[in-house]
Amino acid sequence: MPEDDRTDTGPDATSAETYEGLVAAADWHLTSVIHAMAGEQATPRADQASAVRALVADRSRVLVVQATGWGKSAVYWAATSAIRSLGGGPTLVVSPLLALMRDQVQAAAGAGLQARTINSTNVDDWEPIMASVEDGTVDVLLVSPERLANPTFARRIGPVIERAGLIVIDEAHCISDWGFDFRPDYQRLSRVLTASPTTPVLATTATANQRVTDDVAAQLGRSTVVLRGGLARTSLTLSVIGGLGPLERFAWVDGALGRLGGSGIIYVPTVADTDRLAGFLADQGHVVAAYSGALDAAARERIEDDLRANRLKAVVATSALGMGYDKPDLGFCIHVGSPGSPVAYYQQVGRAGRAIDRADAVLLPSESDERLWKFFATASIPDPKQMESVLAVLVDRGAPMSVTEIESATGVRRGRVESLVKIAAVDGAVERVSAGWQATGVLYTYDAEKWDGIRAAREVEEDLMRSYAGGRGCLMEFLQRALDDPDPGPCGRCSVCTGVLPAQGRDIDFDAVRAARVYLRGADVVIEPRKLWPKGIEGGPSGRIAGALAGRALLYADAPEWNEAAREVAGPDGVLDDDVIDGLVAVLGRWRTQWAQRPVAVVPMPSRRHPGMVADLAQRIATVGKLPLVDALVAAGPPPPQDVASLPRVRALLDGLRLRDDVVLPGGGPVLLVDDAYRTGWTMTVAASLLRRAGAEDVLPLVVHRLP
């Protein structure tokens, strides 16, 4: 803390020369911080005192596993206050989320400390902030693990790490392969941050079972002090309401918002779900907002502040609004769909009821839960053949490569490449430099036993979540046992213990169900065009794409309002139901107000899987619109590969898709390019570029199903 802000009422450096003096300093600063944060009546918890003493007097590595709201941040603010008063360097806090960092800056100020954060939203302030850290006027610097992974920034902050008085790894379950939210950047950097044997290190989390606790403690060092407490939350009333259909879940949430007290968070699994549910609830008159990582930082901060100030009844959010978001009076937490792990679920519901007597946490399980669980469970587990391919390319090149270059050279999709190089970096086989990623010469060994064990552990967690969603026992006790709580027991409050459900119980307003269907069927699904060709197409197109304009789809992903349409498109070749055609005509009716010119023709996409369906669809759209049908495109050769990087797929499409020799497109406006489904967009992009070459002024894609 700045010199002018310090008082001489606590133990000073002279009186703290002995071990007893250091303990006294730790205790005094903890009491002072607790009073500043919670009032003069508050007293430190025994484990808070043990943690601060271990950090200040013993310079230990400490792992604190305690429930949300227990006061973990008070430990590092108190330890920082004591260490700074004794002449120690600043505290470096590694924190995973921007929202969490913002809250921590405010909390530090409440504890009498000067805290600053370096993140992607304040680039212009980095140098002045670093100068303030270096001249001693900043007590706490908060950064993300991804920021520390940047080689240039890592060099810049190196001296700060070397002279840090305390290093804090917040949400420390992220450094464990076994954790529900493992992040390779976190694990790799935790090793760098804990390399100095004399710098005290504090790791904190509310969501670690015994396996994760043991793993994190082992990574910190054999002498790590572990302080683990009970995880039951007496203010939370847990409930499960199963057996609802997709639109019924929307209707249930609509009814519940008028009955649940306070404001809260409604968790959904995908970004698209945030927009759909928030849009419906707003249409029903509720004051809500959609929140996800797709929003820019300013929008996320505004929504967080509006929820904190109760200007919103609810925020419909992905897990991006989770760890560390601080609203002590959050009144409810609803999950529309189950997370794949009881630990993840506990982490999210732990946002509610921190400073109030009762908060409701309601789970509405979904029939699509298990498919999403499988996807997310395997997303962070490396495929050994893909890893071998990526590492071989880096070794052969012998120079740094960007992720895009690796994708083009290997055929592995970009998101997967990013995950693989980060995992390999944990073992030192690759390193990130300013020009990209390069091989280090260290041999990478695929640990099949470890990854198989992680896969098996996640399957066990999925089984546990099935049992929780099925209400097979006290819900709070179930979460405690899943988290290896040392003192589990029936809560006497949950819907299983009492038989009482929150809000309207299982009652569904079927007018709201109909309203949800009408709203969702009236919402536009926009298809954004591809903008750049992948690099490396020998003799083919490059640079910016002259292809399609933004298009439209009838439905996105598992759209409950169009269940029959989704099943038809996923099934065998056949004619689409009249209801689907009517829906597409309605889409065109809304879309036409944005056209610069009316379409002059309808072109069917050549389809190997559904030739009859697409041909009939295009003919019926042409008939309704009184437009000519032009069968302009032909597909030849083998179908393009699926689930590969952009380059090999585009190469295959360029080889297999062509214009008919005698094609003549009418002029005077764009053409509608019609297909049954759309996933990567490359088929539509290549087809549109061919149509533009044949004279089409513009191309407007229209599809039935936009796949995620």
Per-residue model confidence as pLDDT tens digits over 191-206: 777 777 889 999 999 8
Is 364 within 8 Å of 504 (Cβ atoms)?
Answer: no
Q: Roughly what angle, to the nearest 10 degrees, separates helices 19-38 and 98-110?
A: 100
pLDDT of res. 177: 78
Q: What is the CA radius of gyration of the chain?
A: 28
How, if at all, do strands 140-143 and 115-118 pair?
parallel
Beta-carbon neighbour count of residue 588 at 10 Å?
18
pLDDT of res. 262: 95
For 128, counting Cβ atoms within 10 Å of its Cβ (0-12 exposed, 13-18 middle, 19+ buried), the class is exposed
pLDDT of res. 16: 56
What domains are defined for the chain?
3-228 (3.40.50.300), 236-373+462-519 (3.40.50.300), 383-445 (1.10.10.10), 524-706 (3.40.50)
Burial letters for 211-237: b for 16+ Cβ neighbours within 10 Å, e otherwise? Answer: ebbbbbbebbeeebbebbbebbbeebb
Tokens of 70: 């227990």
For 435, counting Cβ atoms within 10 Å of its Cβ (0-12 exposed, 13-18 middle, 19+ buried), the class is exposed
Distances from the Cα of 13 to the Cα of 82, 85, 86, 87, 454, angstroms: 10, 7, 5, 8, 48
Eight-class DSSP state of 307:
H
pLDDT of res. 12: 57
Q: Please spell the DSSP secondary structure of 500-548, one letter per residue.
A: --STTTT---HHHHHHHHHHHHTS-EEEPPP-BPPTT-TTS--SB----
Beta bridge partners of 635: 657
pLDDT of res. 439: 96
pLDDT by residue (tens digit) across 606-642? 999 999 999 999 999 999 999 999 999 999 988 888 8
CA-to-CA distance for 345 and 350, rounded, in angstroms? 8
pLDDT under 70 in the chain at which residues? Answer: 1-17, 97-100, 180, 323-324
Q: Which residue has the tokens 């740094």?
A: 400
pLDDT of res. 705: 96
Q: Which residue has the tokens 């010119």?
A: 597
Tokens of 599: 């379409």
End-to-end CA distance of the chain: 49
Report how far Cα 617 is from the mean position of its chain's Cα atoms: 37
CA-to-CA distance for 168 and 190, rounded, in angstroms? 10
pLDDT of res. 323: 67
